Chains A and B, each alone.
Chain A
């Protein structure tokens, strides 16, 4: 059963039951969406254990905020948006990562030692992690998860033009890291 709400979105029965406090219904939603949310956290963070912890945080927060979901986007998009916010908040509070985000730029990527570049070529995942967080976020959302620039703009709060610029920047840097 699908209900149409006051803003024109539709919310299916399982989501409605979860919104009314049914944890079993929420578990069903978790089993459908957890793999994609985990993949997003893992690609943005790199570390498997940390990614699992963040995925837990995303779903605990999703449970707390589920009543704010109005069906204007799909639940998957809503969860991805939440996941992006959780991951960015985590990166911000992590001193080590925060420093790297401030310091990393294209020149540094290009100027890495041959040894570091070789390592990066060997592993797409580690190459992704060498990108600045803004560029990495847009690249993961666009190229890996298939969101459009407009959707990314909506999820992250940046302009669609900024998302395009970040994608171009990320691809250029990644090509350098992965090229022989």
Chain B
């Protein structure tokens, strides 16, 4: 803090007095001050950012096209993630309303209340499962990022043990996801997936708390 001028004034006085008497510390601080000054004065790496925009624009447009194509391809599709991303909670409600508005007349015209009810339930279940998985994955990613920042402070054996546990859990998650892809309405598989995600979050939180 003395090197970058953020030390409180009363403590600065004390430290300055010590530095006047201690050549070794004064030399250390001088080196640090040079480093901080070099870092703050170093020019930021520049890029031709204009050249990158067309690629970003293309990816944004492509995402829109895929969303529309997917939505048209399957009336059983859950509300698209991009709709949620675009319009947040409001989009979620709107998407649910649109889904109901589009799906309901088609189902009721078949005069098959039982079938339509089952179908709406299936859409709701798939949508909820998809949202839950996304939330778990986002939370896990957040914890993983925090772990990376702390990793060098962990004991090597603790880090290795965690990596091993995560590999096992990730492998289990991948297998359950494959099974769900083959049997999407199986509640036991969805429970297993949720359990696997919870194990992963617990493992990451344990390390976070220990750190």
A positions within 8 Å CB-CB of B: 21, 23, 26-27, 30-31, 34-36, 38-39, 42-43, 48, 51-52, 55-56, 59-60, 63-65, 67-68, 84-85, 88-89, 91-92, 101-102, 104-105, 124-125, 132-135, 137-139, 143-144, 146, 156-158, 162, 165-166, 171, 174-175, 178-179
Chain A residues with CB under 8 A of B52 = 34, 52, 55-56
Query: Interface residues of B, CB < 8 Å — how many?
Result: 46
Q: Enumerate chain A residues within 8 angstroms of B40, measured Cβ to Cβ.
A: 143-144, 146
Closest CB of chain B to A106's CB: distance in Å?
9
Q: How far, in angstroms, from A27 to B57 measured CA to CA in the complex?
A: 8
Whether, in the assembled complex, B55 has its beta carbon less than 8 Å from a beta carbon of chain A, the answer is yes
Knowing A63-B60, A134-B153, the reply to whether A91 touches B35 (Cβ < 8 A) is: no
**Total cross-chain contacts (CB, 8 A):** 143
Determine whether the beta carbon of A132 is less than 8 Å from that of B152: yes
Bound form: Cα–Cα A68–B91 in Å: 12
* 19 extra interface residue pairs, beta carbon distance < 8 Å, beyond A42-B45, A156-B146: A38-B45, A38-B49, A48-B45, A51-B47, A52-B47, A64-B85, A67-B91, A84-B145, A85-B141, A88-B149, A89-B144, A92-B145, A102-B159, A104-B152, A134-B153, A139-B39, A158-B146, A162-B150, A174-B35
Does B3 have its Cβ within 8 Å of any Cβ on chain A? yes
B148 interface contact, C-beta 8 A: yes
How far does the alpha carbon of A30 sit from the alpha carbon of B57 in the complex, in Å?
A: 11
* The 7 residue pairs across chains A and B that have the minimum distance between CB atoms: A132-B152, A39-B44, A34-B49, A67-B88, A134-B149, A42-B45, A143-B39
- B32 A67 Cβ-Cβ under 8 A: no
The answer to whether A91 and B148 touch across the interface, beta carbons within 8 angstroms, is yes
Whole-angstrom distance between the alpha carbons of A67 and B47 in the complex? 27
CB of B42 within 8 Å of the partner chain: yes
Task: Determine the distance from Cα of A139 to Cα of B45 in the docked complex, in whole angstroms.
Answer: 16
Residues of chain B lying within 8 A (CB to CB) of residue A174: 35
Q: Is the CB of A30 within 8 A of B86?
A: no
Closest to B146 in A: A157
How distant is the Cα of A178 from the Cα of B60 in the complex, in angstroms? 42
